[in-house]
Each structure stands twice: as C-alpha cells, then as structure tokens.
Amino acid sequence: MARSVIGLDIGTNAVTVAEVQAGHPPKLVAFGQVALARDAMREGEVVDGDAVAEAIRRLRGEVGVRRGGVRIGLASPRLVVRQVEMPVMSRDDLAGALRFQASDLIPFRIEEAVLDFAILDQYQPEDGEPVMRVLLAAAQQTMVEALVRSVEAAGLAVEAVDLIPLALIRALSATNGTGGAEGIVSLGGGTTCVVVHEGNVPRFVRVLGSGGRQLTDAIASSLGIAPDAAESIKRQIGVTSDPTVDQAATAIDRPLGMLLDEVRSSIDYYRNQPGAAPLSQVLVTGGTAQLAGAIERLSALLGVPVLLAQPRDVLTIADIGFAPEELPRLDPYLPAAVGLALLDPALGPAMNLVPAGRRPSAASGRGKYVAGGVAAAVVLGAALTIPTLQRRNELDDVRQETTDLQDASRERQAAIAELAAVEATQQQLESLQGQIDTVLAADVSWAGILHEIAMAMPNDVWLTSFQGQVAVAAPAAPGGTTATTATTVPGQALGPSGVLQGTVTVQGTGLEFPSVAAWIERLSQVPALQGLWVPNATSGTLGDRDVVDFDSSAALTDEARSDRAEERQGDPR
C-alpha cells in the first residue's frame, strides 16, 4: 500500500486536515475541518496555543486522524521568502553561503531565525559563470516553535513546517494547462497568500496580513452585532436579499476593494520584475473566494482570467464521509491541507522550517565503534643522558655559557628594534578597529525598519517620503556620510549607556483621518520605534478622491540596530 501523508492547515478561523495517499493521481483518503476559537490565531501566528491544541484534538476525534507525524503549514506576513542567485555549488556549501548572506536578507537576527531553501533551477548568463536560482525562506524561531508546540500538545508529531504558498502550488499547479505563469491567490480569514509559479517553479511569494476577518469585522461594526453573527450574514451575501444582507454587502464593499487592490499590487510587483513571464490566469481559493463578486472584481483589476480553483480535478476522492453532491463545497478548503501532504517534487518544491533541535533523530539508538584485532600499546620511553664533567672543564663551560648568553642578548635587542615599527602599526590598527566598533555600535538596519513599517502600516495608508538619521560617537571621514534613505550624523555621541540616538521622519497619505489614527496605533507597536507622533495632518485631494496628508516622526530604539557589530565580533579575522 502506498504511503500516506497527513497535511494540517491551521488557519485563522478553522483547522483543516487532509490525508493523502501517494499515487498518480494521488488519493484523498481522509479530510475534515473544525472551527477555531476567535483570536486563537492572528495573521498566521499562534496567540492561544491551548485553544489551537484543543481544536486539533477535536479534529482528531471527529476525523480519526492516526497518531504520528504530520506536515503543518506556515503563512504569516513576517515569513520572509526571497529568490536569490548563487554560483553553482554543492547543497552543503550552498547552505553555509546562504546562512552567511541571510543577515542582509531578513529583518531579524540570524540567531533567532529558522532557515531553509530550495534550488529552483540553473542557467548560464551570456557573460558569466553558471548560476543557480534559489528560494530562501526564513521565519523567527519563536513563531515556528509556538505552532509546533500547539500540534504536539494535541498528541501529534510534526514532521515538517512547510510554506502554505508552496503547498498551494503542489495542490493546484497541475490544473494549469494554459502555459506561461499562473497566479494563485488564497483568500483566507486572517492572511492572503499570493504566489506566482512558472511550470511549478515559484517565481513570486507574498503573504498579506489581511483577509476575510476584516470583512466580518466591518459587518459587525456596521450592524452592531457580534462577529459570529456577522460571519453568518457575510455568507448570505449574493445568496439571499434582505435589508440586513444588503447593508452587510455595502459594509464590505470598501474593505474588499482594499484587499483585492493589495492582491493587484502584489501581482503587479511580479509583472514588473525583469524577465517575468506573462501571466496567463489566476486561481483563487479560500473561504473568502466564495464571496459574491470577488472573482469578477479581481479579474477586472488584473486583466486576466480569474477562476475558482478546482483541486478535485487532480485527486481521486476516497470515501471521506461526504456525499458526492457535497464535494464541490470542499474545493475552497482543500488546497492548503492537500498540498502539505503532496511531496512529489514534480509538483513543486517543499521546505522544512522545523527548528533543528525539534527534528527527529535519524537513528533510534546509539551505535558503538569497536576496533578489531589486537590492541596496540604505544610505549613512550625517554632517554636521559647526563654527562659527567671533569672539574677541569667546568670553568670553560661557564665561560662558554656566558658568551652564548651575551650573543642571545644582542640578538634580542636587534629583534626588539625591528618590532618597534610593527608595534606602532599594531597600535594604529587597534585605533582604527576601535573607531569601526564605535561606528558599528550605531549602525542601523534601515532595510529592517522599512520592512517593519510596511508590515505594520494600515492598508489605507501609503508613504510618499522616508528619512532616517542616527548619531555616531566617532567623527566621520571628511565630508561625512550621506544616503538617499538615511543620514549618519558625525561628531555626536550616543546617549547614556550607549543608547542609540536617531529619528525616522516620514510623509504619508491616508484615505481619511481615522487612517492617520490607525497609523499611530499600529506603528507605535513597532519595536524599533518609540515616541511616534503626527505633528501635522491636513485634508487634500488625490485625483478625484479626498485624502489626508500627514507628517510623522519617531525616535529609534536599540531594536533598530543592525547585526553587523555582532557579525564582526564573530569574524575570525
């Protein structure tokens, strides 16, 4: 019997399991889903581990999931996925090289990260050596471990933590018969996954921190009802028509438009990359994909066919407890869990972000190495020769020793004179190294700050300018140092106890004044910033739309420092 694999998708609103038996085509032998307590998960990350574990235990009981290993998925805006080009090398060498470069690619400390990668393909540039295209994924270890602990608390072992975007490719890539690049959009409850692949090879991956939960909250706010009731009414939009449902449809019109516009912006980012293949179509999945009008609106924004994904087209469905006429309603919920359980490399790459300390040992026991043959013993003998001197020779020996000591003393004096110049050079080098350490103490990860701001800022706010400034303790080289995005100010000192002194100033535009308030609330939670305020906000227009232009500034915290100083301390040079 073919081996079966269990995929477990822990979403914002529900936990979904799929057991898939390998084959051509693969067979779905078990499937189930249970609701998850509200706010147990937020933006793909565990908030209430006990609630997540309880939902998984309930799912095990209802579906009969066997004890053993499962593959779980990760989809969070804080998940970093980058495509990089590297010289052709072995996989072991590539792992070391990527870990060395990762500190420049991810917005958090490399010591706090879990990394994995997949080699996508290899090509020969016209004017260079062969290179490999590599997909690098990184997540904070605390985020991954919280997910793993919740599953283990439910009595299951975690074989792998894969990326939901890659699972979507494996579950749906075989449905693309049009050629070219294909987009997949999973409109989930708290996150939206956007991935573009070309022949099952991922070319673009992004996870947005918004989804159907924002639509539900908009209905609850408009109607003044509980979120559970709002979720039920949301499912009636386009199905029934009464004043309450019509009001709910009006309430979600704007947040739905903003969500779809974020998807369009992500797809446009892929399209604008050099050498990007034309987009042939986009498949949508997830609970929010069933919302009336969503597919049509997204198709109008993208200018390509947008279709509801049909994962059952590439699966054989065993008796999973659903009548044949009920199977179509499973389509939006199948791809993530099924894709996690599909491990055929021909369907697309897979990754494993389980921290190394939690991975199962390759061997269950500890072997013993026994040397055969006769034991050998090495006997070290020391022969001491003690010369016997005659009294008449003692005086000559003393005189010779005195002469030797005088010669050695002259040689040492000459060596000391030669080393004087070396010592002076060494002192200069140590002085320069001290200056470098001082400057690196105030080195700021501007890319990390921009990434944190982009992840935290409201969807209805965009920036028009960004300026950063930081003080350093040592004087800069003549002329100072400037950049288009940040300025290093020479001749000033760090604050007490080496506290970083710096500021960030931005100009932005929001759709309305509450957008500015949301900016203040969300950006105040960014660890690298403190004392954020908006000194000026004025009404304006953008085209035919009323907007609010505002200025905002904040001081930098020690969280804004880069890792360059730590990396230099670990450099054996």
Q: What is the pLDDT of residue 491?
A: 38
Q: Is the pLDDT of residue 354 over 70?
A: yes
Cβ proximity of 256 and 284 under 8 Å: no
Q: Which residue has the tokens 């700021």?
A: 444
| Whole-angstrom distance, CA of residue 514 vs CA of residue 88 | 51
Residues in the chain: 573
Q: What value does the mean pLDDT take over residues 376-388?
A: 27
Q: Is the pLDDT of residue 410 over 80?
A: no
Q: What is the pLDDT of residue 388?
A: 29
Helix (H) or strand (E) holding 131: strand 131-140
- String of b and e for 409-442 (b: at least 16 CB within 10 Å)? eeeeeeeeeeeeeeeeeeeeeeeeeebeebbbbb
What band does 407 get if pLDDT is binned at 50, 70 and 90?
low
**Residue among 202, 177, 173 nearest 277 (CA):** 202
Distance of CA 348 to the CA centre of its chain: 19
Q: Is the pLDDT of residue 167 over 80?
A: yes
Give 10's strand partners.
15
Q: What is the pLDDT of residue 123?
A: 87
Max intra-chain CA distance, the chain: 128
| Whole-angstrom distance, CA of residue 31 vs CA of residue 321 | 8
Domain boundaries, given as residue ranges, for the chain: 4-358, 446-569
Q: What value does the mean pLDDT take over residues 536-540?
A: 90
Q: What is the pLDDT of residue 431?
A: 72
CA separation (Å) from 283 to 172, 279, 315, 411?
A: 8, 11, 17, 82
Q: Is the pLDDT of residue 476 over 60?
A: no
Q: Is the pLDDT of residue 172 over 80?
A: yes
| Whole-angstrom distance, CA of residue 506 vs CA of residue 523 | 12
**Residue among 147, 156, 175, 206 nearest 5 (CA):** 156
- pLDDT > 70 in the chain, percent: 79
| Whole-angstrom distance, CA of residue 385 vs CA of residue 171 | 82
Q: What is the pLDDT of residue 145?
A: 95
CATH class of 4-358: alpha beta
Average pLDDT of the residues of the chain? 82
What band does 2 get if pLDDT is binned at 50, 70 and 90?
low
Q: What is the pLDDT of residue 454?
A: 86
Q: Is the pLDDT of residue 437 over 70?
A: no
What band does 404 get if pLDDT is binned at 50, 70 and 90?
low
Q: Is the pLDDT of residue 16 over 90?
A: yes
Q: What is the pLDDT of residues 236-289, one digit of tens each?
A: 998 888 899 999 999 999 999 999 999 999 999 999 998 899 999 999 999 999
Q: What is the pLDDT of residue 570?
A: 59
**Looking at residue 225, what DSSP letter applies?**
-
Q: What is the pLDDT of residue 125?
A: 84
Q: Is the pLDDT of residue 63 over 50?
A: yes
Q: What value does the mean pLDDT take over residues 146-171?
A: 95
Q: What is the pLDDT of residue 66?
A: 72
446-569, CATH topology level: Alpha-Beta Plaits (3.30.70)
Cβ proximity of 234 and 248 under 8 Å: yes
Cβ proximity of 341 and 20 under 8 Å: yes
Torsion over CA of 455, 460, 464 and 469, rounded to 10 degrees? -40
The residue that leads in pLDDT, 179 or 325, is 325
**What residue type is 392 in one-letter code?**
R
Token duo for residue 66:
């066997």
Q: What is the pLDDT of residue 474?
A: 42
**Identical fold between 4-358 and 446-569:** no
H helix count then E strand count, the chain: 13, 22
Q: Which residue has the tokens 């529900």?
A: 14
What band does 106 get if pLDDT is binned at 50, 70 and 90?
confident
Q: What is the pLDDT of residue 120?
A: 92
Backbone angles phi, psi at 25, to 5 degrees: -80, 165
Q: Is the pLDDT of residue 378 over 90?
A: no
